[in-house]
């Protein structure tokens, strides 16, 4: 296996230019949303609205202003598949379409996927959706095709401010830690890394530097593996089945008892 | 900058990662603001008040007054000590006007469209001079033909007061001029809170000096005003006071527009320039002969004293062997202007039926400023050629424009014959770009243009070839220019190219220049130019980019080594002379030593100037060389005069010549404003340009029907008229609909909700857009009253994947008197739900 | 400037599981449970229960067929339905023990086989009393199929809930009791279907009906308890139920559980038969509405989650 590769996205220098979004579309030849003329969302400068099977990158815009404008921020963040080390989508996929590559990234094999859409429900970040052309589940491949020939992902290459940094995970983590301490020294007390350690799903191979709570960016605080519910879910089912079986068997006994008393009478 | 120059903003972000402080001044909280450390919100059109406030703040600052860096720079590198003509009267004396204001008298009967509402007689704005002119040199180099002419231009030396105490010296005039720009006044005019303003001032001051520099970047938020050039001048004045010019990390940085827009002013599409920023010969000036022209335009001292060499080499490039000393190098064949032929008056003339035809290459005037007026103009043309990648609004103004769609005009009533030439895209062409830092970079062709799409170079070249053929047999003298024009850029190997495509390298060679007698001997530097016809060079500023037939320096791609300080001199080629920072002599002190180790850039190493960059100074002129008042050219300047393009070698705080609307920046209100000018009795610039027509009316100051300030701007997601974005579904989806940004306060007042429809009107027109209600916009308190600011991107039209109303139906043809830039950045409007 | 705290599941995307899945959950559940109940009657009941046993097997088969169609059509690439069982690129079997959908697919496939066999036996019992098939059906092989089909049936009836729990979607992933809930609901639904089928054919199977009623009562009580357990287990995610979905769920509890239970008390002046039919219909409606609520309430969060922005 090659070295684990991924993204460090420093949202503090993201200018919301959407070059990443567009580069991804161009490289992967993804269809334009609603033929290129969706209605204006009214949600700041975001008209893509969410990650989906045709938008594998999505730049979020979060306006935070106090009523008198004495405090104000406009946060931007380029969202993408997190390429989780323990990937919930991969875990549940019933066809084996989702694989882990030699770069420790998570890829959906379009030709294997049958569109059951279970992976959509499993991804804690709302990354996956069905692509209207292939009609299969699609998401960022971390440019597997480019990585295989030694190129960097299209989005990272297009990013003018190096908000998206691509590289070996170990190296990115060092960069991220340094940037975090710089920001904190500059008084950005709320700044934090998201997914940079292995506590979150074993680590996110696309991790972030955020300037506010994860929830503000639409990110879960504590994303979990879907199988966390497998044990108790099964127990509840089995228990219910046992109860029903017992009820049924007791039903026979009661029926017999009633019959006998009927006969007695 | 983040919105419109995202790739250049990369460097701002790099600086930010290194701890640089970023300040953003804008009426709206934008993507740039999001990255800034300090945000100064201000009402559109009020920046001179803001900058003036900074100038006053600096002049009163204790550190500034006592730091030898600032004072040495001020006294030696600027014209602070120069005395101004006793006849000069400032806006302080005349309540908002300078001395010399009068009615406009210029212009020619055949072109009455200059648009001036007034004019300054500018004699009183000059310097005071010593009584006697310097004696003509006894002997000297008389080998060149125009030497005597240049020497004859020399004036007596200017009078100076190095103590800066004389009340007529520039410094004292500047001080008096800006004294009323107090922080409170700044707040009153701009709407920016006093403490924010002071924070900006302190940040700029603490980041200027020996060890630190501050750079200012601007684009059309500053230029598109009736006082646009004054805005930039005001910033330059501030930067000179702070010693931030000619030093690394300093400067006033123009962020230019279209991809090679710098190139298109260097090799000008401007009507009043010829190559290399030489003034276009004009019937309005004493330009009858080449000598007259040079007498009027060349300078006896400084780099412009070489103008005869530039001009003669240029004429040789135009007319080749036909240009000889005997026929004034063909000067008489050169076209002359007869007034303001820029975009705005051109369209007024069109609307008056005075223009027969137009070739429109890569422009979309049907959606441009006062678009309905411009479309009126288009309808009056006999013929129109549109050369574009798509059928833009300008190509379909006759069958799909709003006035056609609503039935008020029928296509049958439009007599214009419209031709459409499909254009090759950038990746299908080869050539050079000149970017905003004057850097030429070569780009190669990635694909052949499809079908009958042709490059603009092909079109222009073939047009020339055909026109030459058309006029070949003419006996009219006026056609001689065409007949004599040298016009052969055919590739040596015609088989390899699109049929008829000229060789772009041959064009670059023509621009670079060569020895007239042996064209394969290219010129290596502008210093080789001669005024006797022995050199041929289309543009002196580009001389050196192609020093040998096999050395196209624009195509270089070698960056400096990592970790080594340098100017990447092996990457592309920057004019002039591959110099990256202009006037960089100013990065060293009077003795030629860097002002500080941290900011070293160019220095005197004992025998010559050296450094990270190509020094912008005569190579071997020592820092202590005195000025020679009897010499011409740069020899007349001392070893401590960094501004060699200026006749006096120093940076101008006070601008004695070149600007027609005043030697000092002064706050005027935009042509349309909801308030009276809080600073002067004079409301607007007395010399702005305005074309009065029924379809170009202006709202009176404070007109209650149009109470809000509106500005127009760009989105990262789209490109100007939309030709390069609204036809792309990917980009269209990112910003699909036209919107108006407004504060919740204003929206609430009108019952407007987010994404609801709004009607916006001005005296020129009325359009609809969706509301984007956001706290990124805010109401301002101006001159005691609440003024709402709204803003609209203007990329939409009726063609393309996404369409929307034409915002420029709202704007007016009103412009600045120096360069005729329009005022699309600040005007007034009304908004209603609907 | 603080955003409203959101349960982690609220940041996920919708799988666009709609009516097809609601119907599958409903019908597939009934099919599985119907087989389960029939198998119980088959194994432990009397000869008089045979008609109901046969009805149950036939109900199960119809349910399986409809479910299979629903499941395949719901795939956005239906022709690749077999990728659930066979790895498309290696040809080896596809099985993930920890993925309820994978296990469920196998269970469903096996269940389909057993229902087909059981239904064949049932068919033989009526139409070909003399055939050896009939003997097989009534003999040990029939019993074996009842055991295997019953267990895979109960699996099919319950795994759907577990599958929902093993996601990160709002409500689904916020509770691990959904499996039990779905199973008990499927059992009560299956009992109701069998009751309806039996009453529809007259009162000949009173003894089976009686047993069904008992089972139904037990299943309904279990369902009621688990419904409450689910809501309690949701925690902060219970905000999904604020509004229309909460009302609908209350309707399920009252109309689909409590009222039918009360109707069984038998001290009503209404004749028993209409009462039984009404109660069965209410149970079925409640079971259906339960799935509608579970699917669509979760779905509705997607819209809420899209614009997760600070004030
Ligand atoms: N994505 C994209 N990039 C572009 C272009 C494009 O269309 N799209 N166009 C190119 C071209 S042709 C050009 S000229 C450049 C222009 O580049 P910019 O000048 O950056 O472009 P604008 O968006 O027109 O204006 C910039 C800002 O000026 C602000 N502004 C308006 N009035 C005032 C004022 O009075 N004072 C101050 N301080 N600010 C004011 C606006 O709110 C806006 O945020 O961009 C080039 N780059
Ligand atoms: N209200 C308002 N109005 C403004 C401004 C503003 O800020 N506010 N800004 C002003 C400014 S700064 C500018 S620069 C102008 C721009 O206004 P225009 O120049 O009128 O508009 P563009 O959309 O840039 O037109 C360029 C056209 O060139 C085409 N094109 C692209 N590449 C090529 C090529 O290689 N060859 C040819 N032949 N065509 C090509 C594109 O498809 C496009 O249609 O607008 C001005 N108008
Ligand atoms: S972020 Fe979602 S889609 Fe990406 S690997 Fe993790 S679970 Fe899968
Ligand atoms: S939709 Fe495709 S990738 Fe996702 S779980 Fe189903 S088969 Fe796997
Ligand atoms: S890595 Fe490739 S696929 Fe993923 S977002 Fe970037 S460009 Fe798109
Ligand atoms: S390209 Fe970079 S700066 Fe631009 S939106 Fe994407 S992440 Fe942000
Ligand atoms: S569009 Fe081209 S010129 Fe403009 S910022 Fe992007 S790369 Fe630079
Ligand atoms: Mo521009």
pLDDT tens digit sequence for C43-80: 998 888 888 999 999 999 999 999 999 999 999 999 99
Report which DSSP code applies to A164.
E
SS3 content of chain C, % helix, strand, coil (to 5): 75, 0, 20
Q: Which secondary structure element, helix H or strand E, spans residue A167, and what is its range? A: strand A164-168
pLDDT in tens, chain A (265 residues): 689 999 999 999 999 999 999 999 999 999 999 999 999 999 999 999 999 999 999 999 999 999 999 999 999 999 999 999 999 999 999 999 999 999 999 999 999 999 999 999 999 999 999 999 999 999 999 999 999 999 999 999 999 999 999 999 999 999 999 999 999 998 899 999 999 999 999 999 999 999 999 999 999 999 999 999 999 999 999 999 999 999 999 988 888 887 777 665 5
* CB-ligand 2 contact for B721 (6 Å cutoff): yes
**Among B579, B612, B647, residue at a domain's last position:** B579
Flag if A249 and C40 touch (Cβ within 8 Å). yes
pLDDT band at C1 (very low <50, low <70, confident <90, very high): very low
User: Are A161 and B13 an interchain contact pair (Cβ–Cβ within 8 Å)?
Assistant: yes
Instruction: For residues B829 and B243, give the distance between their C-alpha atoms in angstroms, rounded to a whole number.
Output: 41
Residue A153 CA to ligand 5 centre (angstroms)? 6
Residue A9 CA, ligand 7 centroid: distance in Å: 22
Extract long-range pairs of C94-99: CB within 8 Å, 24+ residues apart: C94/A94, C94/A95, C94/A96, C96/A92, C96/A93, C96/A94, C96/A96, C98/A91, C98/A227, C98/A230, C99/A91, C99/A92, C99/A93, C99/A94, C99/A118, C99/C166
Instruction: Note the ligand closest to the C-alpha atom of B7.
Output: 7
Q: Which atom of ligand 6 is nearest to the CA of A76?
A: 8
DSSP symbols for B772-819: EE-TTS--EEETTEEE-EEEEE----SSSSS----GGGS---EE-TTT
Confirm or reject contact between B735 and chain A (CB < 8 A). yes
Question: pLDDT (tens digit, 9 = 90+) per residue, B432-455?
Answer: 999 999 999 999 999 999 999 999
Q: To which H or E segment does residue C225 belong?
A: helix C206-234
Q: How far apart are CA B662 and CA B813, in angstroms?
A: 22
Q: Where are the domains of chain A?
A: 5-224, 228-264
CATH of the domain at C17: 1.20.1630.10
Residues B244-264 have pLDDT tens digits of: 999 999 999 999 999 899 999
DSSP A168-202: EHHHHHHHHHHHHHHHHHTT-TT-EEES-STTTTT
Q: Which residue of A has its CA nearest to B775?
A: A65
C-alpha of residue A150 to centroid of ligand 5, in Å: 15
CA of B369, nearest ligand number: 2
Give whole-number Cα distances, B676 to A60, A175, B670, B700, in Å: 41, 54, 10, 10
Interface test with A, best of B34, B745, B781 (most A CBs within 10 A): B34
Residue A263 is predicted with a pLDDT of 64
pLDDT at res. B132: 63
Task: Give the pLDDT band (50/70/90) at residue C306.
Answer: very low
Q: With beta carbons under 8 A apart, name residues in chain A contacting C98.
A: 91, 227, 230
* CA of A186 relative to ligand 1 center, distance in Å: 30
pLDDT at position A264 = 59
- All residues of chain A having their beta carbon less than 8 Å from the beta carbon of residue C13 are 50-52, 120, 123, 126-129
Instruction: List all chains that touch chain A, counting a touch as 3 or more CB pairs closer than 8 Å.
Output: B, C
Counting ligand 7 atoms within 8 A of each CB, the residue from B2, B4, B6 with the most, and so the one to mutate, is B6
- Interhelix angle C178-200/C140-165, rounded to 10 degrees, is 130
Query: What integer is the mean pLDDT of B82-95?
Result: 96
Instruction: List subunits contacting chain B, requiring 3 or more Cβ pairs under 8 Å.
Output: A
pLDDT tens by residue, C144-176: 999 999 999 999 999 999 999 999 999 999 999
- What is the B202 CA–ligand 4 centroid distance (Å)? 58
Cβ-defined contact of B775 to A65 (cutoff 8 Å): yes
CA B572 to chain centre: 22
pLDDT tens, residue by residue, C78-130? 999 999 999 998 999 999 999 999 999 999 999 999 999 999 999 988 888 88
What is the domain count for chain B?
2
Chain A contact set for C40 (CB, 8 A): 245, 248-249
Q: What value, to the nearest 5°, has the Cα angle with vertex A25 and ends A22 and A27?
A: 105
> What gap in Å lies between CA B270 and CA B754, rounded to an integer?
42
Q: Which ligand 7 atom is at minimum distance from the Cα of B4?
A: 5
Task: Kindly give the distance from the C-alpha atom of residue B261 to the centroid of ligand 8, in angstroms, as a whole number.
Answer: 8
- Alpha-carbon distance A68 to nearest alpha carbon in chain B (angstroms): 9
- Mutate: best of A8, A10, A16, partner B, most B CBs <10 A: A16
Interface test with A, best of B4, B13, B714, B757 (most A CBs within 10 A): B13
Domain that holds residue C193: 4-309
Instruction: State the DSSP H helix or E strand holding residue B386, giving kind and residue range, or none if neither.
Output: strand B383-388
Q: How far is the CA of C14 from the centre of ligand 4 (A)?
A: 14
Given the CA of residue A106, which atom of ligand 3 is nearest to it?
Answer: 5
The CA radius of gyration of chain C, in Å to the nearest whole number, is 21
B571 located within any domain: yes
Contact criterion met (CB < 8 Å) for A95 and C94: yes
- The enclosing domain of B516 has a CATH number of 3.40.50
Put residue A150 in one of left, alpha, beta given phi > 0 → left and psi -120 to 50 → alpha: left
**In this predicted structure, what is the pLDDT of residue A1?**
64
User: Which of chain A's residues have a Cβ under 8 Å away from the Cβ of C74?
Assistant: 116
Which residues of chain C have a CB within 8 Å of the CB of A135? 76-77
Hey, which bits of B268-375 come out as E strands?
Answer: 273-274, 278-279, 357-361
In Å, how far is A178's CA from the nearest CA of chain B? 11
Continuous H helices in chain A: 19-28, 88-92, 118-122, 144-148, 154-158, 169-185, 230-264
* The last residue of a domain, from among B579, B603, B618: B579
Chain B segment 263-282 residues within 8 A of A by beta carbon are none
CB B319 within 8 A of CB B484: yes
The burial class, CB within 10 Å (0-12 / 13-18 / 19+), for B318 is buried
Nearest to C36 by CA among C161, C155, C123: C155
List ligand 4's pocket residues with C-beta within 6 A.
A 93, 95, 97-98, 108, 113-119, 136-137
Cβ within 8 Å of A, B 708-727 = 715-717
Residue B512 lies in a domain: yes
Instruction: Indicate the average pLDDT of chain B.
Output: 95
Residue B458 lies in a domain: yes
Contact residues on chain A for C89, CB-CB shorter than 8 A: 109, 111-112
Among protein residues, the one whose CA lies closest to atom 2 of ligand 4: A113
DSSP run (H or E) holding B254: strand B252-254
Within an 8 Å CB–CB cutoff, is residue A34 touching chain B? yes
Q: How far is the CA of B740 from the centre of ligand 1 (A)?
A: 16
Which of A24, A83, A144, A166 to probe ligand 5 with, by most ligand atoms within 8 A of CB?
A: A24
With CA atoms as reference, the chain A residue closest to C169 would be A121
pLDDT band at residue C198 under the 50/70/90 scheme: confident
Which protein residue's CA is at the shortest distance from atom 27 of ligand 2?
B362
CA-based nearest distance C131→chain A, Å: 30
Q: Check CB contact of A187 with chain B, cutoff 8 Å.
A: no
pLDDT, tens digit, 9 for 90 and up, residues B647-694: 999 999 999 999 999 999 999 999 999 999 999 999 999 999 999 999
**Closest residue of A to C96, CA-based?**
A94
CA distance C280 to C191: 8
The span from the CA of A181 to the CA of A12, in Å, is: 13
Chain C residues in contact with A217 (beta carbon < 8 A) = 308
CA distance linking residue A88 with residue C173, whole number of Å: 12
Taking the CA atoms of B711, B714, B718 and B724 in sequence, report the sign of the dihedral they define.
Answer: positive
Q: How far apart are CA C109 and CA C86, in angstroms?
A: 12
Residue range(s) defining the domain that contains residue B827: 689-833
For residue C254, what is the DSSP state?
I
- Please report whether residue B507 resides in a domain: yes
Number of independent structural domains in chain C: 1
Q: pTM value?
A: 0.94
Chosen for mutation from B40, B733, B748 (greatest number of chain A CBs closer than 10 Å) is B733
Q: Does the pLDDT of residue C309 top 50, yes or no? A: no
Which DSSP string do the residues of A197-237 spell out, in sequence order? STTTTT-BSEEEEESS-GGGGT--SS---GGGGHHHHHHHH
Ligand 3 binding pocket, CB closer than 6 Å = A 81-84, 87-89, 106, 123, 125, 127-128, 139
Q: Within this chain, do residues B512 and B382 fall inside the same structural domain, yes or no? A: yes
- Assess whether the C-beta atom of B791 lies below 6 angstroms from ligand 1: yes
What pLDDT is stored for residue C307 in this prediction?
A: 41
| CA distance to partner chain C, nearest, from residue A138 (Å) | 12
Residue A260 pLDDT: 76
d(CA C24, CA C57): 18
Whether the Cβ atoms of residue B72 and residue B588 lie closer than 8 Å to each other: no
Of all residues in chain B, what percent carry a pLDDT higher than 90?
A: 92
In B35-113 the beta strands, taken as DSSP E runs, fall at: 38-41, 101-102
What's the gap in Å between A160 CA and the centre of ligand 7? 10
The architecture in CATH of the region A5-224 reads: 2-Layer Sandwich (3.30)
């Amino acid at each position: 296996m090659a070295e684990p590769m991924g993204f460090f996205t420093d949202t503090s220098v993201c200018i919301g230019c959407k070059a990443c979004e567009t580069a991804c579309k161009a490289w992967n030849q993804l269809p334009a949303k609603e033929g290129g003329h969706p209605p204006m969302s009214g949600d700041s400068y975001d008209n893509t609205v969410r990650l989906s099977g045709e938008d594998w990158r999505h730049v979020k815009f979060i306006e935070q202003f106090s009523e008198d404008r004495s405090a104000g921020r406009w946060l931007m963040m380029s969202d993408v598949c997190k390429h989780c080390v323990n990937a919930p989508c991969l875990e549940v996929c019933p066809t084996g379409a989702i694989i882990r590559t030699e770069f420790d990234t998570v890829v959906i094999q379009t030709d294997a996927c049958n569109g059951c859409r279970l992976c959509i429900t499993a991804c804690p970040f709302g990354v996956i959706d069905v692509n209207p052309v292939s009609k299969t589940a699609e998401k960022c491949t971390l440019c597997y095709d480019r990585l295989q020939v030694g190129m960097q992902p299209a989005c990272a290459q297009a990013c003018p401010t190096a908000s998206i940094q691509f590289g070996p995970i170990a190296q990115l983590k060092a960069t991220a830690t340094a940037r975090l301490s710089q920001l904190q020294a500059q008084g950005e007390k709320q700044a934090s890394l998201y997914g940079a350690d292995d506590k979150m799903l074993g680590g996110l191979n696309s991790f972030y530097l955020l300037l506010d709570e994860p929830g503000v960016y639409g990110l879960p605080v504590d994303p979990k593996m879907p199988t966390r519910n497998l044990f108790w879910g099964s127990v509840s089912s089995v228990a219910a089945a046992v109860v029903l079986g017992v009820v049924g068997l007791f039903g026979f006994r009661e029926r017999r008892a009633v019959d006998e008393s009927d006969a007695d009478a | 900058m983040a919105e419109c120059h995202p790739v250049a903003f990369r460097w701002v972000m790099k600086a930010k990662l290194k701890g640089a402080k970023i300040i953003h001044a804008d009426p709206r909280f934008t993507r740039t603001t999001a990255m800034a450390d300090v945000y100064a919100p201000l009402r559109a059109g009020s920046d001179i008040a803001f900058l003036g406030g900074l100038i006053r703040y600096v002049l009163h600052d204790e550190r500034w007054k006592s730091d030898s860096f600032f004072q040495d720079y001020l006294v030696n590198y600027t014209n602070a000590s120069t005395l101004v003509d006793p006849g000069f009267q400032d806006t302080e004396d005349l309540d908002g006007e300078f001395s010399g204001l009068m009615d406009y008298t210029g212009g020619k009967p055949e072109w009455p469209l200059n648009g001036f509402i007034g004019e300054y007689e500018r004699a009183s704005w000059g310097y005071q001079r010593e009584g006697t002119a310097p004696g003509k040199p006894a002997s000297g180099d008389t080998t060149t033909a125009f030497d005597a002419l240049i020497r004859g231009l020399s004036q007596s030396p200017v009078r100076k007061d190095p103590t800066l105490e004389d009340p007529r010296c520039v410094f004292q005039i500047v001080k008096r001029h800006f004294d009323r720009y107090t922080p409170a006044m700044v707040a009153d005019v701009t709407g920016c809170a006093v403490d924010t303003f002071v924070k900006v001032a302190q940040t700029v001051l603490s980041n200027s000096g020996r060890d630190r520099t501050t750079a200012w970047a601007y684009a059309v938020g500053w230029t598109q005003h009736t006082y646009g050039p004054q805005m930039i001048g005001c910033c330059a004045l501030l930067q000179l006071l702070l010693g931030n010019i000619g030093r690394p990390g300093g400067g006033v940085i123009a962020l230019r527009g279209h991809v090679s827009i710098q190139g298109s002013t260097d090799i000008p599409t401007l009507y009043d320039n010829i190559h290399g920023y030489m003034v276009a010969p004009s019937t309005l000036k004493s330009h009858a002969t080449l000598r007259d022209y040079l007498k009027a335009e060349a300078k006896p001292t400084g780099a412009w004293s070489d103008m005869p060499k530039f001009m003669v080499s240029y004429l040789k490039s135009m007319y080749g062997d036909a240009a000889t000393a005997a026929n004034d190098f063909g000067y008489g064949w050169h076209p002359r202007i007869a007034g303001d032929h820029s975009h705005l008056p051109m369209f007024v003339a069109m609307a008056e039926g005075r223009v027969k035809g137009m070739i429109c290459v890569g422009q979309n005037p049907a959606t441009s400023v006062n678009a309905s007026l411009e479309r009126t103009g288009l309808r009056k043309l006999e013929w129109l050629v549109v050369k574009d990648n798509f059928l833009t609004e300008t190509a379909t103004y006759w069958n799909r424009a709003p006035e056609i769609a609503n039935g008020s005009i029928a296509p049958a009533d439009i007599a214009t014959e419209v031709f459409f030439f499909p254009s090759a895209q950038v990746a299908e062409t080869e050539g050079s770009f000149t970017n905003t830092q004057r850097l030429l970079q070569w780009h190669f062709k990635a694909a052949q243009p499809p079908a009958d799409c042709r490059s603009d170079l092909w079109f222009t070249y073939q047009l020339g070839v055909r026109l030459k053929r058309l006029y070949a047999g003419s006996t009219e003298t006026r056609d001689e220019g065409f007949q004599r024009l040298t016009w052969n850029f055919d590739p040596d190997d015609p088989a390899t190219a699109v049929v008829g495509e000229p060789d772009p390298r041959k064009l670059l060679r023509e621009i670079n220049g060569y020895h007239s007698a042996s064209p394969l001997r290219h010129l290596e530097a502008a210093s080789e130019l001669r005024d006797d016809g022995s050199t041929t060079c289309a543009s002196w500023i580009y001389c050196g980019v192609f020093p040998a037939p096999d050395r196209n320096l624009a195509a270089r791609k070698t960056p400096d080594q990592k970790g080594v300080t340098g100017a990447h001199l092996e990457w592309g080629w920057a004019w002039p002379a591959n110099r990256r920072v202009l006037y960089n002599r100013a990065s060293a002190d009077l003795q030629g030593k860097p002002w500080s180790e941290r900011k070293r850039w160019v220095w005197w190493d004992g025998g010559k100037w050296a450094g990270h960059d190509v020094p912008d100074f005569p190579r071997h002129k020592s820092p202590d060389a005195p000025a020679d008042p009897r010499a011409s050219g740069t020899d007349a300047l001392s070893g401590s005069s960094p501004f060699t393009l200026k006749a006096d070698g120093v940076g101008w705080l006070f601008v004695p010549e070149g600007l027609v609307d005043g030697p000092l920046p002064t706050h005027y209100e935009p042509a349309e404003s909801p308030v009276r000018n809080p600073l002067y009795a004079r409301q607007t610039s007395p010399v702005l340009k305005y074309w009065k027509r029924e379809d170009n009316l202006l709202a009176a100051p404070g007109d209650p029907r149009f109470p809000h300030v509106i500005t127009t701007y760009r989105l990262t997601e789209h490109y100007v008229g939309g030709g390069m974005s609204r036809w792309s579904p990917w980009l269209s989806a990112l910003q699909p609909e036209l919107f108006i940004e407004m504060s919740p306060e204003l929206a609430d007042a009108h019952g407007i909700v987010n994404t609801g429809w709004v009607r916006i009107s001005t005296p020129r027109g009325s359009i609809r857009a969706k509301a984007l209600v956001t706290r990124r916009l805010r109401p301002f308190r101006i001159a005691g009253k609440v003024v709402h600011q709204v803003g609209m991107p203007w990329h939409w039209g009726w063609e393309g994947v996404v369409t929307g109303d034409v915002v420029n139906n709202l704007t007016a043809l009103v412009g600045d008197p120096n360069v005729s830039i329009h005022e699309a950045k600040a005007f007034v409007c009304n908004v209603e739900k609907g | 400037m603080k955003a409203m705290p959101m349960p982690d599941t609220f940041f996920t995307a919708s799988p666009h599981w709609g009516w097809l899945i609601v119907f599958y959950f409903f019908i597939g559940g009934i099919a599985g449970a119907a087989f389960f109940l029939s198998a119980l009657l088959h194994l432990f009941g009397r000869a008089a229960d045979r008609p109901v046993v046969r009805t149950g097997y036939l109900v199960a088969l119809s349910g399986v067929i409809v479910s299979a169609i629903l499941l395949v059509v719901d795939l956005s690439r239906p022709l690749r339905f077999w990728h659930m069982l066979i790895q498309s690129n290696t040809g080896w079997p596809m099985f993930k023990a920890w993925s309820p959908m994978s296990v469920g697919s196998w269970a469903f496939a096996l269940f389909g086989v057993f229902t087909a066999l059981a239904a064949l036996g049932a068919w033989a019992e009526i139409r070909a009393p003399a055939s050896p098939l009939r003997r097989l059906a009534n003999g040990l092989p029939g019993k074996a199929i009842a055991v295997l089909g019953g267990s895979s049936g109960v699996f099919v009836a319950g795994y759907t809930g577990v599958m929902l729990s093993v996601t990160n979607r709002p409500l689904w992933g916020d509770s691990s009791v959904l499996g039990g809930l779905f199973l008990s609901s499927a059992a009560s639904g299956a009992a109701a279907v069998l009751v309806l089928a039996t009453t529809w054919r007259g009162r000949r199977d009173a003894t089976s009906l009686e047993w069904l009623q008992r089972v139904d009562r037990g299943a309904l009580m279990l369902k009621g308890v688990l419904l409450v357990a689910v809501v309690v287990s949701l925690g902060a995610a219970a905000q999904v139920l604020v509004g229309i979905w909460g009302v609908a769920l209350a309707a399920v509890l009252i109309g689909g559980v409590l009222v039918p239970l009360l109707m069984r008390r038998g001290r009503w002046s209404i004749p028993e038969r209409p009462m039984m039919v009404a109660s069965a219909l209410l149970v079925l409606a409640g079971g259906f509405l339960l799935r509608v609520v579970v699917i669509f309430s979760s779905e509705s969060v997607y819209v809420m989650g899209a614009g997760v922005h600070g004030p």
